[in-house]
Structure 1
Amino acid sequence: MTRRMPPIISVSHLSKTYGSGLKALNDVNLDIERGEIFALLGPNGAGKTTLISIICGIANPSAGTVSVDGHDNIKDYRAARSMIGLVPQELHTDAFESVWATVSYSRGLFGKPANPAYIEKILRDLSLWDRRDSRIMTLSGGMKRRVMIAKALSHEPQILFLDEPTAGVDVELRKGMWDVVRTLRDAGVTIILTTHYIEEAEEMADRIGVINKGEIILVERKAELIQKLGKKRMTLHLVEPIDAVPASLAEYRLELGENRDELIYNYDSKANHTGITGLLAALRDAGIRFHDLDTTQSSLEEIFVSLVRG
Structure 2
Amino acid sequence: MASNQRISSTEQLEALGQAVITTDPAGVVLFWNPAAEELYGWTAQEAIGRNIAELSVPEVGQDVAAEIMAALRDGVPWSGGFPVRRKDGTLFPALVTDSGIYRDGNLVGIIGVSINLGTALRPLLERSTDAALVLRSDAVITYASPAVELLFGWEQDALMGTSIVPLLHEEDRAALAALLEDVVAHPGVHTPVEVRVQAWHDWRWAEAAFTNLLDDPTVRGVVCNLRPSPARVAQEVAELRARQLETALQSRLVIELAKGYLVGRDGVTPDEAFASLRSYARSHHLTVHDVCRSVVGGEPLIAPPTG
TM superposition score normalised by structure 1: 0.23
Higher relative contact order (CA 8 A, sep 6+): 1
Q: Choose between structure 1 and 2: higher helix proportion.
A: 2
TM-score scaled by structure 2? Answer: 0.23
